[in-house]
Amino acid sequence: MPTYVLGVSALYHDAAVALLCDGVVVAAVQEERFSRLKHDASLPVRSAKWCLDRAGITAAQVDWLVFYEKPLRKFERILTNAVATFPRSYGAFPRQMRAWLGDKLWLRGNLCAAFGVRPERVLFSEHHLSHAASAFYCSPHDEAAILCLDGVGEWATTSLWRGRGSEIEPVAEVRWPHSLGLYYSAITAHLGFAVNEGEFKVMGMAAYGVPRFRAEMDPLLHLEPGGGFSIDMDKFSWHWHASEAGGAKLQAILGPSRFPGTPFTPTAAPHDGSPSEIEECQRYADIAATAQDQIEDAVLHLARHAKAAVGGDAICLAGGVALNSVANHRLAAEGPFADVWVQPAAGDAGGALGAALWVWHSVLGNPRGPALRRADIGRDTPIARSREILEDLGGRPEDVGDSAPERAAEDLAAGRVIGWMNGRCEWGPRALGHRSILADPRQAATRDLVNQRIKYREPFRPFAPSVLAEAADQYFDIPAAASAPVRFMLSTAPVRDAARGQLGAVTHVDGSARVQVVDADSSPDYHRLISRFGELTGVPVVLNTSFNLKGEPVVSTPVDAMASFTRSGLDVLYVDGLRVERPR
Amino acid sequence: MGVFRRAWLTVASEFSWRMPGRPQRLLAAFSLAERGSMMDMLAAVEATTRRDMRRKYFVHALDEGRHAKIFADRVRDFGQAGRADAALEDSGQLLQAGIVGGQTLFERFGEEKFLAFVYVAEADAVEQFNVYLERGLPDDATQATLRTILKDEVFHVAYSRAEVEKLRKEGRAVDKMCRDLRLARVWERYLRFSRDVGSFMSGIWLTILYFVVLAPFRLLARTEPGGWQPAATPGVDRLAAARAEG
Ligand SMILES: [Fe+2]
Ligand SMILES: [Fe+2]
Ligand SMILES: [Fe+2]
């Protein structure tokens, strides 16, 4: 009888489920793809049901359900923190207690009730251990240093581990309230973006600025000679305020915070702002650039310490900060490790997979399995149902069968922007050619069109290119150490000078791109699509952005796809072998 | 109930629109509610087994999505971009306001009761908008917005009523269903209100607790230093450790 382990992460952000059958991933899905609520943190009941159905089992057949963190240890941290920040935390305390007393403290019972497993089958990992396990066990490395960087788990906000075979051993940690993730979030909020959502926007904005505030901001995030870091907690409020991370003291240093939704018109962006508006935007861009620069330096600093303390050639990363693709590039290009590996769902969703793998390898003592090479381990829809849905919703699908990739390439070459839904959903926040909006990458005008007419998002945000593995080197300067992260779109790379003219829509203002390298083994259909586009245009690169509209999770079903298709300016929709054209 | 509801709407509309800052808040709330119903209608498209209904639910969903955007744009006209964006983007607010979360309406009710619910809720919305328009609230531009949206809402009432009538002909007790749903909606509103009161009260108690019980411990508290700290080594019995919640 096979052993089933169900990993669950929930109740903070990005709830998810991962199901293992004898250590092999059956499926891993984020609850937002079912509930359609972006970053949904509720107990991922729908995801679990889908995964069990996929495996053809019932909840009674689950051998172990593992939650990705230790709730009581987290509660202890919250209580200790309330005492330590007394009396300033008087506003946060009732809120936190309500959430805990109402729900989170009774987790074992709630998990049993929600997922239908018996209490003696429920286990609890630790937050950073789950991150570490997700990074190491999914990697191809038998030995590696593991670095986890996020907001906070139980106590740890940054942790270093040594991975060897099926063992993960803790080395050191940086503890709450000192947190790189929360530092970046505080700056995100200062720049007028939503925390846990706008961090990518800060990264995009940073390219428009120069890090000219290092003198002011370096005392806030101090890199210590011992290889760690500390935060000047006096200037921040995330450890005591109910909703703010920055506050008055931060504003005294950085100036007033940016009002959410204000147009962003720095010098280098297309704008119609007045000189004073431009100057103000430039200041925000420079703050973003400084914070980004600091985070990159911090990641390098921590990685150098990891090299000294753990050694080896490879480093595995997880935690929300590991989604910072610019920092990952610098780690690969300048850092001490020959190989960098980042788990595609590096945020808290990934904890579900990590917790399950930890139980399988570390608790149950099983040897390592193959590395995670593809990200399409999520939800899919049988073609018969897709056809029925598309017909019923008035899509008039054309059956293009196995030639969908080639047909799609021809659409792209003809200047159409397409919604591309193919096979199973990706694991992690990036769309990697299974739930993507695709377009011709050659003209900068395409970027503006997709931003304005399709994604309805800020004009300063860049789009990513997907390139054939065979041609990657010709277009991008990818450091050898980044060869794994670029497969999951987790590292940027400079666009080669000669190629910039051909990649106007996907080259960011600083000459970089968040490239995805596509190989025929792990993404056969997508590889065919890009190959054909290359044959037609001479450029084996496409513009790839996640298939969703502003404020919504990435589409997962044909219904989601049709809803996004109909409400946006997409020209053509592909759902597996079916092609739908926008009615004229 | 109709008379009570109308009286309540009339009183509430004055309060809702005339207080400073309220129109923006209300419009943002409308935007959230419209977005919530878009999601419920899309969930119905996903879940229904009646192929003839899929298209209707879908068109309905697209209408609600458009309404969400129209209301958010109106909030933006008041110079409240942040609030408008939150209404359109932040799904956390949908959860907090109890608009979505847990089961979808379709999962909760099944198809027939869901249709009755759509009919009841849409009819309520039409009545609510009409009260605002009759009273000339709140301003010309918003009234124009309401009129545009009202056209769609009237259609939503019409098609759901037609479906409910079909059910009646098939001998279903639709009147009782609608009556129960109306009562349930009032009851849920009461529950939400009492939950708010409850959380307000518990907030007071917890604040008192905070100042009385936590204060003495202040002396013992220490703040964690930054930098690398040694990590705890795991125990030998891993399964026992894994069972522990703390
Ligand atoms: Fe985390
Ligand atoms: Fe509506
Ligand atoms: Fe409606």
Per domain, the residue ranges of chain B are: 3-197
Residue that is written with structure tokens 């903070």 in the block: A12
We report the CATH number of the domain holding residue A88 as 3.30.420.40
Q: Are residues A465 and A553 in the same domain?
A: yes
Q: Are residues A270 and A206 in the same domain?
A: yes
How far is Cα A398 from Cα A421, in angstroms, rounded to an integer?
15
Question: Among A305, A338, A371, where does a domain finish?
Answer: A338
Structural domain includes residue A375: no
Measure B130 CA to ligand 3 centroid, in angstroms. 14
Q: Are residues A114 and A242 in the same domain?
A: no
Q: Are residues A262 and A390 in the same domain?
A: no
pLDDT of residue A101: 87
Structural domain includes residue A282: yes
Report whether A569 contacts A453 (CB < 8 A). Answer: yes
pLDDT of residue B81: 75
pLDDT of residue B221: 75
The Cα angle at residue A370 between residues A335 and A485, in degrees rounded to 5: 30
**In which order are the strands placed within the sheet that holds A4-9?**
A24-30, A16-21, A4-9, A64-67, A122-124
More confident residue, A123 or B20: A123
Structural domain includes residue A57: yes
The average pLDDT across A238-256 equals 90
Mean pLDDT, chain B, whole residue set = 89
Structural domain includes residue A250: yes
Q: Give the closest ligand to the alpha carbon of residue B31.
A: 2
Which B residues 174-233 touch A at CB under 8 Å? 199, 202-203, 206-207, 210-211, 214-215, 217-218, 220-233
Structural domain includes residue A154: no
Q: Which is it for strands A24-30 and A16-21: parallel, antiparallel or unpaired?
A: antiparallel
The average pLDDT across A239-247 equals 87
Task: Give contacts of B62 with chain A, Cβ < 8 Å.
Answer: 563, 566-567
Which B residues 18-37 touch A at CB under 8 Å? none
Q: Are residues A270 and A394 in the same domain?
A: no
Cα distances (Å, whole numbers) of residue A122 to A113, A309, A349, B1, B22: 12, 34, 19, 49, 48
Cα distances (Å, whole numbers) of residue B193 to B4, B37, B94: 18, 21, 16
Query: Which of B228, B236, B238 is most worth mutating to test chain A (most A CB atoms within 10 A of its CB)?
Result: B228
Q: Which is it for strands A143-149 and A339-342: parallel, antiparallel or unpaired?
A: unpaired
Q: Are residues A213 and A118 in the same domain?
A: no
Residue in chain A closest to B99 (alpha carbons) equals A37
How far is Cα A440 from Cα B135, in angstroms, rounded to an integer?
53
What values do phi and psi take at A384, rounded to 5? -65, -40
Structure tokens at A51: 């995964």
Encode pLDDT of A377-409 as tens digits: 999 999 999 999 999 999 999 999 999 999 999
Report whether A281 contacts A240 (CB < 8 A). Answer: no
How far is Cα A548 from Cα A433, in angstroms, rounded to an integer?
13
Which A residues 152-171 touch B at CB under 8 Å? 155-156, 159-160, 170-171
pLDDT tops 80 at residue B99:
no
Please return the burial class of B130, using the count of CB atoms within 10 Å of its CB with bins 0-12, 13-18 and 19+: middle
pLDDT tops 90 at residue A366:
yes
Binned at pLDDT 50, 70 and 90, residue A276 comes out as confident
Q: Looking at this predicted complex, what is its ipTM? A: 0.92
Structural domain includes residue A14: yes
Q: Which of A127-131, A261-265, A281-285 has the highest mean pLDDT?
A: A127-131
pLDDT of residue A25: 97
Mean pLDDT, chain A, whole residue set = 95
pLDDT of residue B1: 53
Please return the burial class of A505, using the count of CB atoms within 10 Å of its CB with bins 0-12, 13-18 and 19+: buried
The average pLDDT across A264-291 equals 82
How far is Cα B148 from Cα B58, in angstroms, rounded to an integer?
19
Q: Confirm or reject contact between A35 and chain B (CB < 8 A).
A: yes
pLDDT of residue B5: 81
pLDDT of residue A272: 64
CA nearest A93: which of B226, A101, B93?
A101
Q: Are residues A313 and A393 in the same domain?
A: no
**Catalytic positions of A, please?**
13
How far is Cα A150 from Cα A171, in angstroms, rounded to an integer?
17
C-alpha Rg value of chain B to the nearest Å: 24
pLDDT of residue A151: 96
Closest chain A C-alpha to B160 CA, distance in angstroms = 18
The average pLDDT across B5-10 equals 84
The three state secondary structure string of A90-131 is: HCHHHHHHHHHHHCHHHHHHHHHHHHCCCHHHEEECCHHHHH
Q: Are residues A353 and A423 in the same domain?
A: no
Residue that is written with structure tokens 């404020």 in the block: A551
DSSP string of B30-42, one letter each residue: HHHHHHHHHHHHH
How far is Cα B166 from Cα A175, in angstroms, rounded to an integer?
63
Q: Confirm or reject contact between A500 and chain B (CB < 8 A).
A: no
CB count in 10 Å sphere of residue B1: 9
pLDDT of residue A271: 57
What values do phi and psi take at B239, rounded to 5? -65, -40
The average pLDDT across B53-59 equals 96
pLDDT of residue A577: 93
Contact B91 A40 (CB under 8 A): yes
Q: How many helices (H) and strands (E) does chain B have?
A: 9, 1
Q: Give the closest ligand to the alpha carbon of residue B122.
A: 3
Contact B229 A233 (CB under 8 A): no
Structure tokens at A312: 């080896």
Q: Confirm or reject contact between A194 and chain B (CB < 8 A).
A: yes
Q: Which is it for strands A143-149 and A314-318: parallel, antiparallel or unpaired?
A: parallel
Q: Which domain holds residue A8?
A: 4-68+70-124+348-363
Measure B127 CA to ligand 2 centroid, in angstroms. 13
Q: Are residues A559 and A438 in the same domain?
A: yes
- Domain count along chain A: 3
Q: Are residues A81 and A203 in the same domain?
A: no
Express as a percent the part of chain A with pLDDT over 90. Answer: 89
The average pLDDT across B22-48 equals 92
Binned at pLDDT 50, 70 and 90, residue B98 comes out as confident
Encode pLDDT of A458-489 as tens digits: 888 889 999 999 999 999 999 999 999 999 99
Query: Which residues lie closer than 8 Å to A143 by C-beta, 6 or more apart?
Result: A163, A164, A165, A312, A314
Q: Are residues A358 and A406 in the same domain?
A: no
pLDDT tops 70 at residue A268:
no
CATH of domain B3-197: 1.20.1260
Structure tokens at A56: 């053809």
More confident residue, A452 or B87: A452
How far is Cα A36 from Cα A555, in angstroms, rounded to an integer?
8
Taking the mean position of all CA atoms in its chain, how far away is CA A101? 30
More confident residue, A222 or A268: A222
Q: Are residues A333 and A427 in the same domain?
A: no
Q: Which is it for strands A572-575 and A418-421: parallel, antiparallel or unpaired?
A: parallel
Structural domain includes residue A171: no
Report whether A66 contacts A8 (CB < 8 A). Answer: yes
Structure tokens at A68: 């990705």
The average pLDDT across A23-44 equals 95
The average pLDDT across A138-150 equals 98
